[in-house]
Structure 1
Amino acid sequence: MAAVAGLASGCAPLLLGAAGGTAAVASTEHRGLSGFASDTEIQAEINHLWFQNSLELMRRVDMTVSDGRVLLTGRAADAQMRLDAVRLAWQAKGVQEVINEIQVDNDSGLMDSARDTWISTQLRTKLTFDSRIHSQNYSIDTVNGVVYLMGLADSQDELNRAIDHARALPNVQRVVNYVRVL
């Protein structure tokens, strides 16, 4: 809806410019434009399925898609919400694997979410400014101090550097690695 309002108010060049920037970044990733497009289609379909099921599910559960692999993280209100998120993710065309890291946590607070966002932001910055890491190939999700890495690494050394950056951050409880080495 916001995109439609943006087009009506004369912001089309801004929106198209942002899309062009996304395409430029996607073309530098190891999965290329076609892989990026396929993963984007999977993500859109899962979002649609989640939206039809529950707005609360969409608010509480996050997803990262890389080469048809879907990583689910976040804090579900109950076990049924966790199961629904996984079940619906498997229904999307092109899904090769669903990795369920959703935690059942109905008492998560604003401070926990803010801390997790801060951890992810710090790690993204460290990866971006490390010249020996292709940061655009990594997705980062943090839930309750647990950092989930997903994507593609050029080498084991690059992956080790990314993991070391994550482990060195304050408030990181552990690092879970779903990165594939090329």
Structure 2
Amino acid sequence: MTEVSMTVNGRAMDGVVEGRTLLVQFLRDQLGLTGTHVGCDTSQCGACIVHVDGRAVKSCTMLAVQAAGSAVTTIEGIAQGQELHPVQVAFREHHGLQCGYCTPGMIMTAIDMIRRHDGVLDEHTVREELDGNICRCTGYHNIVKAILSAAEAMGSQPADQRIAAE
């Protein structure tokens, strides 16, 4: 057993894990953050995506001990108080979800994508970068529309506010 410490959604968190415990298991089972979903356990679906030190990571392929000392953000940590993150708002406004199972991973991917592209995205890039996220309900059209809308809204913000939006 190994002690791990990390910052999760802005709060210091500690736990004791087996060396083989995946980050997604630590988040869900020990911290009770069940918004991060387990869809495939093989890094194929993207339902488990979280941010580790600001970058999108499939938490089903990362050990909890590998995240020790890192800043981890889950879907539960992206809203500012009662105000939804701009990507969450865009998903709601553009009907970018149906069953919602893939939505947390899609949103976390979108936030990272928008940040890396400085808010300037086109449909081709969005579709290409969603390659590691599987949705069985929507057909992606509304997800792409939501991401493009959020990118436009966030791209008009000063850079420090875009980063602070996470």
TM-score under structure 2 length normalisation: 0.34
Structure number with the higher strand fraction is 1
Relative contact order higher in (CA < 8 Å, ≥ 6 apart) = 2
Structure number with the higher helix fraction is 1
Bigger Cα Rg: 1
